[in-house]
Structure 1
Amino acid sequence: MPDRFALVTALRGAGWHPAAWRAPDSGAERLRSLRHWRDVIVEQDRLGVDAVTVEDSFTAGPLGDDGDLDVTTVVGGLDALLVTAAVAPATRQIGLVPTVSVTHTEPFHVATSVQTLDHLSSGRAGWRLQVSPTAREAALFGRRTFPTTTSAPDGETAAALFAEAREVAEVVSRLWDSWDDDAIIRDVRTGRFIDRDRIHNAEFRGEFVSVHGASIVPRSPQGRPPVFVLAHRADAASLAVDVADVVLVTPGFDGREAPDLVTEIRHLEETDPSRTSRPVIADLAVLIEQSRALAEDELAALDEAAGRPYALGSGSDAAVLATTVPELVARIGSLRDAGIAGVRLRPLRTPRDSTAIARQLVPALVTAGLRADVSSRPVADLRSRLGIAPAVSRHARTPEVRA
């Protein structure tokens, strides 16, 4: 259905191109300000984008060839979860999806922080689950060591990271379910604020994580905010099918195209009949101009400034498109025909390309019949907006059937 075709914008600093900060209109001097993030996200919200994801990492920036920070790109950033919480009151409909790593973060803190965001946004929070694979990140915490300083862990390390991620996701889900929807009773007559029988401990003991007790945050508006996982490799795809509500894929990466990726996800889903089909959303990195020639010139200028091309397999795990709005609409239409349920667009330049997505692409998709006009619809929670079924608590009581 056109109204279920999701449009998500992925925000990262001055943009996804490493040289985007050098443009005169990049606003790079404002990247550490609330105003920058509020202005960009409010525009996405006002013009009908379904959700924004905000990137985050335990590294201050990408590494150069010498193994140290690459000082030619944006170094340093703000906490994605805190940014989305700060922006939430200024927005009305858009989903707010911070990236939060599970590798060095306690699942209790993940669960309660995302729950808090869901309350503050009245049911518009999501969580992009990410692992942190490098020795450089591990050294910040000092509790464990990894054998590599790069972003590509060896097989044994990767297997352990994804196994740990499964456990953390399970614990977070249990904590989100630990309060019943009606646990807060506010019974003035008896003086009871809560019914303790409606709060349940999240009992879990695994190889990596052990948790006893309940969340300190009451059940949030969505119950369980939707979990996003980027399935850009086989082990990540397996994790996504196990724990995610939304699967992000990268057509073209490793030679796999959209139909193959959808087939792969559906095949993995068949191994567990209890898991329902979830939206598969394609990632594309975009630079948008009025003509293809101008877009290609702009990308070439950025590549020259960076001293290297930014392309699929060269700095990017997603296809990089120097394109126009009509061409992008056609590309999105072909993805939908391949079974893709939406796109997550990575603007190479923020706010220039994020503005083009909101002001030009959204109405063009409506005109092309690829998407319904959602700007005037009643506010819905993020699960509903993405076409994901409501979250039913594992502790939900079965209604009594009266004769």
Structure 2
Amino acid sequence: MTTIKIGHAYEDVGVSVTIKGKRSFKAKKAAKMKAQKQAITNYLKRVSPAAVGSSCEKQLLDDRAVLIQRVTAQGFAQLDNAFEASYLVRIDDEKLNYRLEELGCGSQSGAAEVVMLIMEEPPTKGDIAMILNSADASGTRKLRGLGPFVIFYTSYQRAIRDSIIEGANREGLKLTRLDTISDFQRMKMSNDDPLVGVYFDNDTEEFAINRRLTSIVKNKFAAKNTIILYYRIASLYFDQVSRKLSVTLSISLHDLNSGETKSVGSQEFVSMIPEGQPGLAIRDGLADVASNAASLLMNRAKKEARRMSSMAQAKTRSVNPSTANVYVKLNSKRTMYNLKKKLSDNMVQNSRIDGENLVISLAAGVTSDEFVFERLLAVLEGMGINIPDKNIQFKESKCFIEQ
């Protein structure tokens, strides 16, 4: 049986940086480091905008040695008293997004939780066939070649579903399985129904949609930011003459709230079964090729999933621009009062000393991480106060800082 190993995914990010002074070895070294940091920031702006300027970004910048695979110089130029350098920075997509998820700053977290479900669009009988002999090579008679697929169809569904979920998890995305939610258990069409929304109807001899399931999914998740990842078996067959196994899968994503649907294309995978192998080898082989095609296709689907998730986050932030609060506890109330006077700018709505804390209410649209890392820490450092990272804690729209 031919197998495939799905390698680590990566993304190349082009950046240009400027360093004051003349071109030199030292300037090149500084430019390369600056380019690595800028590449990670640029990447975050696309996959998880809410993480930009936060403690998550700072941690990723500190971890850049394990997140960046390589840096390739593209060109250098001297502009008066400034040295400009361009680089192509290869980021380990899998490691960075997994790290984001660990830090709680993934594309599905932020202003609101984004739920991702995995479901199936039905194939047709013409898409799924088994050619039994050379006389049948031009077509498949009614159910003659379809029977084995009907019997084992849930095996293919599970293999595809598990492969897509594994690929998503490697990239820091979390997909929800409906069969793990108790409210949906009673909607199974059979004991081994994986609840992806499609089953084979023996009465009509057609692949059918579980309408009751899809209706309840829409009702239950309508109030949430929900993205449905749909896969479809565009073709699945075994040619007994050539002993070839082949599958073509397609994936699309649908935003349940906005109604936007985006296709990421299709992926084919082919393998061979030697003669003399038992029937179970064909079943398992088809499950394998379907699984491998799904893994390859997820390399494209992940980017679209993150884009939709980020857009859902941005929409939530614009609709609910809640006021963020920062709580600062310093060793001296007099110092907190002096800090209060230094923070009267357009990022701050009001501030007051409440008990042991200086409570800073931020202006509408200003996030706590944005204020802390772009303004507050710089002011504190100017006052001779350095706050260690472990003393900065974010919780939803609040931030707690202690000297």
Q: What TM-score range do you get, normalising by the shorter chain?
A: under 0.3
The structure richer in strand per residue is: 2
Higher Rg: 2
Pick 1 or 2: higher relative contact order, CA cutoff 8 A, min separation 6: 1
